[in-house]
Amino acid sequence: MPVITTESVLKALSTVIEPDLHRDLVSLNMIKNVQVSGHHISFSVELTTPACPLKELIERDCRQALYRHFGDEVVVEITMTADVSRGNRLMETNVLPEVRNIVAVASGKGGVGKSTVAANLAVALAQTGARVGLVDTDIYGPSVPTMFGATEVRPRVNADRKIIPIEQYGVKLLSMGFLVDPDQAAIWRGPMVTSAVQQFIRDAEWGALDYLLLDLPPGTGDIQLTLVQTVPITGAVIVSTPQEVALADARRGVAMFQKVNVPVLGFVENMAYFTPPDLPDRKYYLFGEGGAKRLAAKMQVPLLGEIPIEQIVRESGDDGAPVVMSHPGSLSAAAFRYAAEETARVIAVLNAENGNEAPIFEIEA
């Protein structure tokens, strides 16, 4: 067997390609802490997100590259770690130096499950080990307090007069609902809402976060437009249901983000199909089939996931624990975890393309 050195290990690993970024792990600077002792090789692979769905594949490719290079007798010990990359817009500002990405969760209209998707994405990302925050900006219909079982909670303020987010299921939370009585919300005007939300984001003690999710108010009006222009958003996830009317609104959502050059990370189709619990192989497309997929293809936006309608999704929301927390083995929980991984993956690719303009989408009149 040839003498193994750090250099020869790196040479072998430079044949392993990161499937999303299409470059090798060594030139991407993802291989850390290589140690060689006789025929023992150990190192870390630093992924761009702990939610990486390709973790096992990359680990296996590394192992195989080393066996190919040095023979089957080598003992390989790999530690998979992650260091989430930072969004371009956050890099350009001094706002929130410890926050890596701000992700807007938006919808063209209310009732499509935007808050449910935001809550489950947040918890699913946190379950992978990511540091996650969630801001519920919907003053007229805040649902984060209910969905996280935190209706009685009031956030405290620290010595620097910064609001301290509450923490539930591994997610740091702030909601307009913590501060404003829903009956009083009607008197809030747009500018008051946007400045309150901006305070939530800038003047809260978030600490270090990989993903800060914003549950935007539904629609594409002035409040939404101001928010997406004044917050350094990495990208937006647009939630829709399969009906044509909802999809038309989703399209308007894409147009809004495009107008202000915020990248659209993709669509999540919620209530995409129904699978009766006693017929687990069936999928009934109650609201039509494949609508979001077609729209995604047409607008060249990724489809990040298709979430089934399940009674426990609603029940879990009402009972104060998102379904990925309360029923991790359910169909919908699996679909939410997939959507969370895809979102993290699209963000990682976008950030790697550093300096690129937001993708341009063709919008039909």
Ligand X SMILES: Nc1ncnc2c1ncn2[C@@H]1O[C@H](COP(=O)(O)OP(=O)(O)O)[C@@H](O)[C@H]1O
Q: Which residues of the shown chain bind ligand X in the complex (CB under 6 A)? A: 107, 110-116, 143, 218, 270-271, 307, 309-310, 313-314, 317, 332
- CB contact at 8 A, 326 and 316: yes
Least distance (Å) between residue 105 CB and ligand X: 9
The β-bridge relationship of strands 40-47 and 31-37 is: antiparallel
Instruction: Please report how close the Cβ of residue 193 comes to ligand X at its closest, in angstroms.
Output: 16
Separation between Cα atoms, residue 73 and residue 40, nearest integer Å: 9
For residue 116, the partner it binds in ligand X, Mg ion, none, with Cβ less than 5 to 8 A by kind, is ligand X
Q: Does 137 bind Mg ion (CB under 5 A)?
A: no
Nearer to ligand X, 44 or 243 (CB): 243
270 binds Mg ion (CB under 5 A): no
> Would you tell me how many other CB atoms lie within 10 Å of the CB of residue 170?
15
Minimum distance between the CB of residue 358 and ligand X, rounded to whole angstroms? 24
Residue 137 near which of ligand X, Mg ion, none (CB within 5-8 Å, type-dependent) = none
220 near Mg ion, judged by CB under 5 A? no
Binding flag, residue 143, Mg ion (CB under 5 A): yes
Using an 8 Å Cβ cutoff, are 80 and 47 in contact? Answer: yes
Of all residues in the chain, what percent are helix, strand and coil, respectively (each to 5)? 35, 20, 45
Q: How far is CA 187 from CA 20, 21, 181, 183, 302, in A?
A: 47, 48, 11, 9, 38
Q: Which does 120 bind (CB under 5 to 8 A by kind): Mg ion, ligand X, none?
A: none
Q: Which does 240 bind (CB under 5 to 8 A by kind): Mg ion, ligand X, none?
A: none
**Residue in 107, 115, 120, 332 binding Mg ion, rule: CB under 5 A:** 115
309's contact among Mg ion, ligand X, none, with CB below 5 to 8 A by partner kind, is ligand X
Q: What angle do CA 145, 150, 155 make, to 5 degrees?
A: 90
Of 214, 208, 217, 251, nearest in space to 235 by CA: 214
Q: Binding mask 179-218 vs Mg ion (x if CB under 5 A, - otherwise)?
A: ----------------------------------------
Q: Decide: is 234 part of the binding site for Mg ion (CB under 5 A).
A: no
Who contacts 139 (Cβ-Cβ below 8 Å, separation ≥6)?
Answer: 176, 180, 185, 188, 193, 196, 217
Residue ranges binding Mg ion (CB under 5 A) = 115, 143
